[in-house]
Amino acid sequence: MSKSNSCSEQEGYMTNLKLLDDKVQDIIRQATEVRGNAYCPYSNFQVGAAVLCQDGTIFSGCNIENSTFTVGICAERCAYGKAISNGKLKFTAISVVAYQENSFTAPCGACRQFLSEFGNVDVYLSKPGQDEVLVVTLAALLPFQFQTVDHKFV
């Protein structure tokens, strides 16, 4: 997806937002924007995500917390859920935007497993208002995902 680099299965790379193709820039912008809608009164940790479907459509989502914690919804699963409920099952990329001082926010383990159900995608991690982007594949984030069915989504 990048104009200047390609993401290896095993490792990621840092790049500048402006070097990524327009669709990837769009999903990062949409993830940044939807992050503002996060419902996170318990953690105050806003996360936005946007998924790029194989047909070029984009769906975004934010984290939605709940007082019982375990029934909250992560931004990544929210975005995928919106896409899937609209009949989309083939994805090429996802962006995750959140702010941590010293690192990028990657999908949690549950989200990694959930996303892997629909195939390997490029994952773009960014912070709001910053041009640095960490690019990695879902397979690199979850190298031995649990699978019982050989899906033909990728």
Convert the pLDDT of each residue in 57-82 to its tens digit: 999 999 999 999 899 999 999 999 99
Distance set, CA 37 to CA 46, 80, 83, 122, 138 (Å) = 8, 17, 18, 24, 25
For residue 11, name the pLDDT band (cuts at 50, 70, 90): confident
Short-list 13, 52, 11, 12, CA closest to 31: 52
The mean pLDDT of the chain is: 91
Q: Is 76 designated active site?
A: yes
Please give the annotated binding residues for Zn(2+), written as ranges. 74, 108, 111
Can you give the pLDDT at residue 88? 98
- In this structure, what token pair is assigned to residue 121? 């995608």
Element (H, E) at 96: strand 91-98
Nearest Cα neighbor of 34 from 58, 10, 56, 11 is 58
Quote the pLDDT of residue 3: 39
The class that CATH gives domain 21-141 is: alpha beta
Q: How far is CA 76 from each of CA 2, 9, 49, 87, 132, rounded to the nearest angstrom?
A: 21, 20, 5, 17, 20
Query: What's residue 63's pLDDT?
Result: 98
Model confidence at 9: pLDDT above 50: no
Percent of the chain at pLDDT exceeding 70 = 89
> What pLDDT shows up at residue 1?
42
Confidence class for position 8, pLDDT limits 50, 70, 90: very low
Tokens 């936005």, residue located: 48
Known binding-site residue numbers: 74, 108, 111
Please identify which of the residues 76, 101, 117, 132 carries the catalytic annotation: 76
Question: In this structure, what DSSP letter does residue 73 have?
Answer: B
Q: Which residue has the higher pLDDT, 5 or 83?
A: 83
**Integer Cα distance of 66 and 70 in angstroms:** 8
Of residues 49, 67, 70, the one with CA closest to residue 58: 49
pTM, two decimals, is 0.89
